[in-house]
Amino acid sequence: MDSVLDITRADGIVVLAIDNPPVNALGHAVRHALHDALDAADADAGVRGVVIACRGRTFFAGADIREFDRAPVAPTLTELIARIETMQKPVAAAMHGTVLGGGLELALACHIRVLAADAVVGLPEIKLGLIPGGGGTVRLPRLIGAAPALVMIASGEPVPASDAQQQGIVHALAFEAIEGETIDYLRSHLRSLPTRARDLPPPVLDAAFEARVVALTRKAGNPAVARACEAVRNAATLAFDAALLTERAIFEDLRAGPSSRAQRHLFFAERQTASVGDLDLRKIARRPVRRVGIVGAGTLGSGIALAFVNAGFDVTVREVSETALAAGLSRIGAVYDSALRKGTLSRIEAEARLARVAGTTTLADLASCDLVVEAAFEDLAIKQAIFAELDRILRPGAILATNTSYLDIDVLAAATSRPQDVAGMHFFSPAHVMKLVEVVRGAETAPDVLATLYSLGRAMAKVPVVVGVCHGFVGNRMLGARNAQIPRLLLEGALPHDIDEAHRRFGWPMGPLQMWDMAGLDIAWRNRKFLGQHEAIADSLCEQGRFGQKTGSGYYRYEPGSREPLADGEVTRLIEQQSRAAGVTRRSISHDEILERTHLPMVNEGWRILDENVVSRAADIDVVWANGYGFPRWLGGPMHWAEQQGWGQAIAGLNRWQQTLGDARFAPAAGLIAAATGSAK
C-alpha cells in the first residue's frame, strides 16, 4: 500500500486506485506511484488487464497547478501517459466526478474508458491561458472529430456523461459501482479491445472546423484560443508523435507567457479570497441557512431569488404590491420557460425549482427565514425602515443582508439591535448569471456571518470576495474613477465608437458607452437629478428621449430588433455642440490615450482602496474585476495588469495627466508610490 496508491487484484485484473485528496491531482507522488505500478503489472504474466481508478469524490481532476512553475520531475504527465499507451496489457479508466485536464488526457490514452453517469469530462486548460499538454489536442480529435474537439478545447467547458458517450469520448456509462462496472466491461472486451486513439485515423479538417476557427479567432481575446486551433490543425496534418511534440511546444510557450501567468494568478487569487485578515472563512462554523427571504422582486431581486433557488434553497420574495410581486414572479418564471425552450432544464426540474419560490406582500411572512437579502430601491431611509422591521420580526441569529451598491452598511446596521448579524451581499445583474458577489463586512459583522455568506456564495457557484465599507465598495468605486474620464474624452474629441473600440481592442467584451446604452441611460439620469448633478452630453441625450437600446437610440442608434450599436451622426453633432458650448477645441485622440486616461485612474483608485484596508490584498481587486466587470482574464485583472506594465510607468502616466488636466483623481495613491519605490509594507 503506497501512501497515494491502493493496489487490489482479482482474477487477473489489477485495480490501481489513487487516493490523493481533495481532487486526486496528478502531482509527482501520484505519477511516480502509477508509473511503477504499471511497470509491475506489465511485467506480471498473471495480469490480464489493468483498471486505473480514484478514491474519494473524483477521478483525476487535472494536473497539480502548483508544479507549473517548477522544473519537471520524472515521470512527467506526458511520460506517464506514454507508459499507459505502450502497455502490453489493456488499461481501462474507471472515471467518476469531474474528469478534467490531465485526468481526461490520461484516460484518452487508455484502451477503455468507463464514466459514471453523473460525471463530467473536460479540458479546461484554456481558462489558464494554456492548451492541453498531455496529448488532448491530438487524441480527442481522432476520437470525436476536429470541430467537436476544438469546441471542447477552446471553450474549456465540461461535457456531461451522456454527451461524452454519444460523442465517443467514453465507451460506456456506469450507473452504480464505477470500479466494478469498469472491471466487468474490461473482462468482456479482453478479446476484442476498442482501437486506441493513437491507432485511429487523423481527423478531417472539414468546413465545420474552418468555420469554428474563424469564429474563435475573429476578435481579440485569450491568446491560447488561436494556439488551440493551431494544435488541433496539427493533429490532422502531422504524424501522431509529431503532433504530440508540437502540442507540448505550444503548451510550454504559453506556460511561459504573460497571458497564462495572468490567468494562473487569478486561479490562485480566487482560492485565496477565503483568507480575510486573520480569518480563514473555510474554518469558521457557519450558521444554518435553509430558507431565504428577498425584499424586492425587481430585476435584481428576482435574479437574486433565482440564484438561491438554483442552489437548492427555499425562497420567499416580498414586494410592496400584488402588481409588483406578480411582475417579479413572472420574471422568475420566464427564466425557467426560456431554459425549457432551450433544453437546458427539464420540465420536472423547472417545476421543482418554481415550487421552492413563494411570494408575499407582507414583510412579516419572512419571519421564518434564516437569511433575508434586501434588494429594495437604493434609498437610505427606505432601507433603514426595512432593516428596523426585519430586526423586529426575525429570530435571533438570522442574518440581515443588503444588496446596496453604494450605501453605508454600518448606517443600516445601526437601524437594528443586532449589528453583528448585518452584512452586505452585493450581487451583480443579472444576479443568477454573474459570478461575482461582494460580501461587505460592517464594523461589527460577526465572523460566522461572513463565513456563512461566503459559503452561500460558493454554493451558488459564485466567486465571493469580502470587502469593507466604503462608497461603491471595490468594483463600483473603481468603475466610477474610470467612467468619470469619459465625458471629458468626448468633449475633447473622442466619439463613442472611439472609446468603445479602444476598450474592445484592449480585450473588454464591450465598451463603456455600449454598456451604458444596454443598461439604460435613464437610470443614471434619474440618479443625477436626485443628487442635483449634471452631465452635459448624457443629460442632453436623455432629454431627447435617447435612453439606449430600449428606445432604439442612445450613444448609438439601433435598428428595430437589433442590439448592434451603429454610429449616429446626430450624436456626433450633439457632442460637437457641447464641446463648443464648453469652449473646448476638439482634437484627435488615440486609443492609447483613451486607455491611459480610463485605466490609470481605475488602478489608482484600487491602490486607494488598498490604502484604506477595504480589501485584504490587491489580488482581491483583480478577482472582483475579472468576475464582475468583464476585465480580460488573460490580463489578470487591473492590478496585475498594471504591475506587469510597471508601477513606475503607472505613476509617470498619472503624473503626466494630472499636470495636463489638473485632475486630482490622477494624483498617485500612497500605496502605489510605495510599491514603485519598493517601500510597500
Which of these, 315, 266, 275, 319, lies nearest to 296 by C-alpha position? 319
C-alpha 137/C-alpha 124 separation (Å) is: 12
CATH number at residue 163: 3.90.226.10
pLDDT digits (tens, 9 = 90+) for 390-403: 999 999 999 999 99
Position 220 confidence tier, pLDDT thresholds 50, 70, 90: low
pLDDT digits (tens, 9 = 90+) for 358-390: 999 999 999 999 999 999 999 999 999 999 999
Residues 522 and 449 reside in one and the same domain = no
Would residue 9 count as lying in a domain? yes
Residues 188 and 302 reside in one and the same domain = no
Residues 459 and 508 reside in one and the same domain = no
* Three-state SS annotation for 567-626: CCHHHHHHHHHHHHHCCCCCCCCCHHHHHHHHHHHHHHHHHHHHHCCCCCCHHHHHHHHH
How many Cβ atoms are within 10 Å of 458's Cβ, its own excluded?
A: 16
C-alpha 95/C-alpha 156 separation (Å) is: 19
3-state secondary structure of 288: coil
Length of the chain (residues): 681
3-state secondary structure of 372: strand
Output the pLDDT for position 218. Answer: 86
Percentage of the chain modeled with pLDDT above 70: 99
Output the pLDDT for position 523. Answer: 86
Residues 500 and 556 reside in one and the same domain = yes
Output the pLDDT for position 219. Answer: 75
pLDDT digits (tens, 9 = 90+) for 247-289: 999 999 999 999 999 999 999 999 999 999 999 999 999 999 9
pLDDT digits (tens, 9 = 90+) for 562-587: 999 999 999 999 999 999 999 999 99
Q: Before 560, cis peptide (omega within 30)?
A: no
Would residue 270 count as lying in a domain? no
Position 527 confidence tier, pLDDT thresholds 50, 70, 90: confident
Q: Exposed, middle or buried by CB within 10 Å (0-12, 13-18, 19+), for 82?
A: middle
Residues 285 and 243 reside in one and the same domain = no
CATH number at residue 443: 3.40.50.720
Would residue 360 count as lying in a domain? yes
The torsion of the CA quartet 414, 417, 423, 428, rounded to 10 degrees, works out to -80
How many helices (H) and strands (E) the chain has is answered by 29, 19
Output the pLDDT for position 1. Answer: 43
C-alpha count within 13 angstroms, C-beta hemisphere, residue 343:
0
Output the pLDDT for position 221. Answer: 82
* Segment 196-221 mean pLDDT: 93
Would residue 526 count as lying in a domain? yes
Output the pLDDT for position 679. Answer: 66
3-state secondary structure of 278: coil
Position 462 confidence tier, pLDDT thresholds 50, 70, 90: very high
pLDDT digits (tens, 9 = 90+) for 439-452: 999 999 999 999 99
* Total domains in the fold of the chain: 4
Output the pLDDT for position 530. Answer: 82
pLDDT digits (tens, 9 = 90+) for 492-517: 999 999 999 999 999 999 999 999 99
Output the pLDDT for position 2. Answer: 54
3-state secondary structure of 557: strand
* Three-state SS annotation for 170-197: CCEEECCCHHHHHHHHHHHCCCCCCCCH
3-state secondary structure of 112: strand
Range of the domain at 539: 494-581
pLDDT digits (tens, 9 = 90+) for 338-355: 999 999 999 999 999 999
Residues 604 and 577 reside in one and the same domain = no
Q: Which of 581, 613, 644 is the last residue of a domain?
A: 581
How many Cβ atoms are within 10 Å of 660's Cβ, its own excluded?
A: 10
Residues 326 and 223 reside in one and the same domain = no
Would residue 571 count as lying in a domain? yes
Which of these, 495, 511, 515, lies nearest to 503 by C-alpha position? 511
Would residue 477 count as lying in a domain? no
Hey, what amino acid is at 93?
A: A
Q: Exposed, middle or buried by CB within 10 Å (0-12, 13-18, 19+), for 501?
A: middle
Position 531 confidence tier, pLDDT thresholds 50, 70, 90: confident
CATH number at residue 506: 1.10.1040.50
Would residue 206 count as lying in a domain? yes
Residues 606 and 545 reside in one and the same domain = no
- Mean pLDDT computed over every residue of the chain: 96
Would residue 543 count as lying in a domain? yes
Sign of CA dihedral 438, 443, 444, 447: positive
Is the backbone of residue 466 left (phi > 0), alpha (psi -120 to 50) or beta?
A: beta
Which of these, 130, 78, 126, lies nearest to 253 by C-alpha position? 130
Residues annotated as catalytic (active site), given as ranges: 105, 125
Q: Which of 471, 502, 527 is the last residue of a domain?
A: 471
Residues 19 and 57 reside in one and the same domain = yes
